[in-house]
Structure formats: structure tokens, C-alpha cells
Structure 1
Amino acid sequence: MSRILCILAALLGFGAASPASAYWEYGHETVGAIAYRNVTPAVRAKIDALLKRQALLETPTCPANTIEQASVWADCVKTLGPRFSYAYSWHYQNIDICKPFDLKPPCRDGNCVSAQIERDVKLLKDRTVPVRERVMALVFLVHFVGDLHQPLHAGDHSDLGGNKVKTNYGAFASARLNLHSVWDGYLAERAISQPPSPVRVYSAAERNAAWGGSVEDWSRESWQVARDVVYPSAAGAAVCAPGEHPAHLDEATIAKLVPVAREQVVRGGLRLAKLLDEALG
């Protein structure tokens, strides 16, 4: 039992993350793997060709040889100190769930996740851009599409995307557990792990259902999930009313949230496939 508690403590240490560390590794890798399965064969070959040049990034401690490694590269390079500190705000766009949706304030000067997704697609499309920059655009894109589909990277309530909202996770409670880490890790991993595996080739109808809309539309959709599902499920329907709203997630609530979390991961993977097909096809 003591060994299990040690493992849980270690996971919590990792999970008490800033708003720039969505989906932990498993979630991001799953988004990347879904996309890789659902791009065209020609685009898959181009992805492989770009990733074979990943040494140009000069980040040997943060490799990107596969799409799964590429999916976590943007988080890994945060350990390299000031070298990539300029990209910190690119991982999220905190839009208040209690106000009308408005991308302009958080995306001022392009410093938000949706603006960077659009920028990376443009860089990948432009064959005159140096290879190193296109490789970096690819690894950033793979990561950022995953980030956008973690609802607490799209909507918050002046709480750093739920990082300041203390909660339990069923029977499990800790002073370091918060709403963000639940959706980043524990809930996402439970949703992904339930059979059947979400990593598969999806039908044309399934892909088309996810592909509709623009990056801004997807941003609004993720924000709506935060507004309509994430916060009310934890803190009640009156979360926007004045006063304290303690968060609590019991097992019955978690069971209802699992399909929502899984759908967000699948949407992220299929939409990443669409963007990669557009950029490299």
C-alpha cells in the first residue's frame, strides 16, 4: 500500500501543473496517434520526413522522432529554461466562462493557442520556409491542437484554468489536487484507457462530423465545455454567482464526465489530422 501511495504522490507532483501543461503525456500522445492514423498516406510520409529532421531543433533531451514524441515536445522544452520561454502563453487562452466568448483579449499579438495553431499551419504550408522552422511548426501544432481541446485551456474563471480550484477525484483527495490536474490527467487517462481504444481509423462520416468549423469555432466549443460541463459538474450550476463555490467530484459525476473527456481527445486527434492534411497535402 505504501508503494501505491508513493506513486500517487509522484503523479500529483507532476499533475499540479500550470495552465501550460495540458493532457500530460498520455493525452497528447493519443491526440497525435489518432491524427497519424487518419491523415492520408502521402501526408503521413511527409510527417515522417519532417520528423527525421528533428535534430535541427537541437533539443536532444526533448526528441521528436515520432508523432507521439512530437506531441509532448512543447512541454518538454519548458525544462530548457529561458530558451523557449517565449512560447509559454501559446499553450492556452483563458476566456472567462462567466462572460461572453471573446478571443481578442487573450490572443492579443497572437500569444494564445488558437493563433499559434493557425500560424503553424501557415508555416507548414509554405515550402519556402526553412526546414528547421517547418519541423518546429509541426511539433508545436501537434501539441497545441491537443491543448486547445483540454477545456480548461480554453475557458476559466479567473483561476488559471482551474489550477486554483481545489477538488477531490472520487475517493482520492490531496491538497495538491485541483480541477485542472483532474482534466489534464486523471480524467483524460481514464477516458482514453476505456475500451475500445480511441486510436483507430475513423470513418468519413466520423471525420466530417469533427472537422466542421474553424479554429475559432473549436475554441468556442472547448470554452463551452468548460462553461457548461467542467465548472458546473465540480462547483454547481451557480458557479458564476457571487460567493464561495467549493468543488467536489464524486464517482457518479466522474462517470458522466468520462465520455465528454474522451470526445475532446478524439475531436483533437481528428481535427489535427484535418489541419495536417491541409498543410502538407
Structure 2
Amino acid sequence: MRFRLPPALLAVAALLALPSPAFAWWEYGHETVAKIALSQIKPRTRASIEWLLKRQAVLETPSCPARTIEEASVWPDCIKTFGDRFSYQYSWHYQDPEICRPFDLTPFCKDGNCVSKQIERNQRLLADRKLPVRDRMMALAYLVHFVGDLHQPLHGAEHDLDQGGNKPKARYGRLPPRSLHTIWDGLLAERAISTPVGGAAGILAEVPAGDRSALAAGTVEEWSRESWGLARDLVYGTAQADPCAPADPNAKLDEATIERLVPAVRRQVAAGGLRLARLLDEALDGDHPEVAHPPRKKKG
């Protein structure tokens, strides 16, 4: 993620009686995705995760602990405060295909520096039991976090070089204008995740058990295309009538619009959790050795 909700904005939200158990997608969303995944993984996967989490001290980031999967889910954002030590990972949190052009990740994932390629890379690293514990612990935290990032549509698309919705502003209910990214990463996500029945159990319960495998299916690129499409149709398409037009300075999400968007956000959180569970099982359950190493390049 790229930004955190300012304390002043949190105070305004509280005054408006919006549910505010945490910092929305910034923390609340990631933790909820992680909790859903934890509830769905296989026993051997859980044992491997617990083994790694007990060794999280190898990260040498005491102010950014990863003692639980919830803490691990926000570790990649927490370490941004370390400056140069982890500055290389900034571009791993997002990718910016233009919503009004044909979907293509290639220009945005040079050398693997985008969220979808880092999901695939860190799954392979996590699965490789020959690697040092520190590398695999980092891979666990990154994998959990980046799957969450990909399911926030503005981490998977942009329009007119607006940095994933960080430039255009809109009103959210009665609040003053703020960036679309802040609304979707923060206020709307918090509202959706907190809507009764809130939290991981409440969101997961909305997905029938028989439908969960289908929701978890697909490739990371397919999930990227899905997020890109949601950005076009729901994010920009809700802020203004024509999502491909220049940003509307008077864009507003009224209460009725917010209520219509809540189910879509909740589905994204559920999908993120179920898909993360599948990726963790593939890496750690022992039945999917093909993810342990990246594909070998052909010689010649």
C-alpha cells in the first residue's frame, strides 16, 4: 500500500459514526484477508506457518514484528519506515495497467517489480525449504501482504497516470474531498469489512462452502485482470459516468452508492483470503513441489 489514513481523518470518520476498528485495508483489510486464509489452510500448512512465525526474530525488525499471520500481513508496510533498508520493495505493492487500454501487465512488471510477479516469486521462495529461514519468513509476509494488495482494485490499475487513484479526488458521504485511493484503501474498505456481520468470519460466511473452490481458482494474472476490470467498472465507473473521461472534480460517492459498493469490497476480501489459502497450501502442504523454484531458462 502507498499511504496510511491520517489521524485527523480517522477522527472525522469517528465523528460520523463510521465503524473504525482499525485502519481499513491498510491494516484491517490485510489482517482480515490473512484470517480468512488461516481458517481455510490445511493442517500441514498451518504447522509450517506456525514454525516460521516462531522464528520471526530473524527478520531483525523488532518495531515491525511478525509473530502472528495478522502481524505478518502488515509487515511489508511497516518496514517502509526503515528507509533505505527496504526501499527496493516499494514498487512490489502495485501495478498500473491503464483501465482504458487493453489489459497488459508486461510494461508494468519489468524485472518482476510489480505485485503480481512478487506474489508468484514469494510463493516459490516460501516453498523452497533449502533457503535460509529469514528468506522464507520474509516470503511468507510478502505473500500474505501482496495477495491482499492485489485485491484492492487501485493496487492493480490506474487511469491517465493518476498513480492508482492517488491524484483524483472525490467526496465520500459527508466528508471533504480526498483521493480515490484513500477512499478505497481506507474509508470504503473499513465500512465494508465492518458491515454486519463483520470481520473474517462474517465475510467468509457470505460465500457458500460449495462456491469457495471456484472463487479460489485461477492464476495470478487472471486475478490481476479481474482487479483491473473492477477498477474500471466500480472505482472509476462509480466516481463518474464515463470512467475513461478526465477526472471529474465534483465526483461524489453518496450513501446509496457506498451501500451498493460494500458487497463488492467484501467479495474482494473473501476472494483474497481464499486465494491466499490456496497459494499457501501449494507452497507448504508438500503436494506441489513445482512451485519451489522459478522456471529454468533455456540455454542458447
**Normalised TM-score (structure 1):** 0.89
Q: CA deviation at 1:228?
A: 1.1
Shift, 1:36, TM fit: 0.6
Alpha-carbon contact 2:31-2:70 (below 8 Å) kept: yes
Tell me the amino acid that sits aligned with residue 207 of structure 1. Answer: R
CA distance in 2, matches of 1:58, 1:206: 40
Indicate the residue corresponding to 2:42 in structure 1. 40
Conserved 8 A contact 2:24-2:189: no
2:174 matched residue in structure 1: 171
- TM-aligned CA distance change 1:146 to 1:22, over 3 Å: farther
**Structure-2 residue corresponding to 1:3:** none
Aligned pair count?
265
Q: 4+ residue runs of structure 1 moved beyond 6 angstroms? A: none
Measured in 2, the distance between the counterparts of 1:180 and 1:45 equals 36
Q: Is this contact kept in 2: 1:239–1:245, CA < 8 A?
A: no
Question: Is residue 2:272 matched to residue 1:268?
Answer: yes
Q: Does residue 230 in structure 1 map to residue 235 in structure 2?
A: yes
Instruction: Give me the whole-angstrom Cα distance separating, in 1, the residues matched to 2:124 and 2:24.
Output: 24
Secondary structure at the counterpart of residue 169 of structure 2: coil
User: Within 5 A, what are the aligned runs for 1:123-134?
Assistant: 123-134=125-136
Percent of residue pairs bearing the same amino acid type: 61
Q: Match for 1:166: what amino acid? A: K
Q: What pairs with 1:80-229 in structure 2 (closer than 5 Å)?
A: 80-157=82-159, 158-174=161-177, 177-200=178-201, 204-229=209-234
Whether contact under 8 Å (1:168, 1:248) holds in the other structure is yes
For residues 77-128 of structure 1, the C-alpha deviation after alignment (integer angstroms, 9 at most, x for no partner) is 0001110000000000011001110010111100000000000111111111
SS where residue 118 of structure 1 aligns?
helix
**Gaps in structure 2 of 5+ consecutive residues:** 1-5, 13-22, 286-300
What amino acid does structure 2 have at the position aligned with 1:168? R
Q: CA deviation at 1:10?
A: 4.9
In structure 2, how many angstroms separate the alpha carbons of the residues matched to 1:93 and 1:215? 13
Separation in 2, partners of 1:166, 1:32: 30
Deviations 1:148-207 (A, max 9, x none): 000001011010111101111111114xx2100111011111111112235236664232
Name the aligned partner's letter for residue 164 of structure 2: G
TM-score for both structures, normalised by structure 2: 0.84
1:55 paired residue number? 57
CA contact (8 A) 1:22 1:147 kept: no
State the SS of the aligned residue for 2:95: coil
Q: What is the CA-CA distance between 1:248 and the residue it aligns to?
A: 1.4
Tell me, what secondary structure is at the counterpart of 1:164?
Answer: coil
Give CA-to-partner distance per residue, 1:229-260, whole Å, 9 cap, x none: 11010122x2313x552321111111111111
2:280 matches 1:279: no
Gapped runs of 5+ residues in structure 1? 1-5, 13-20
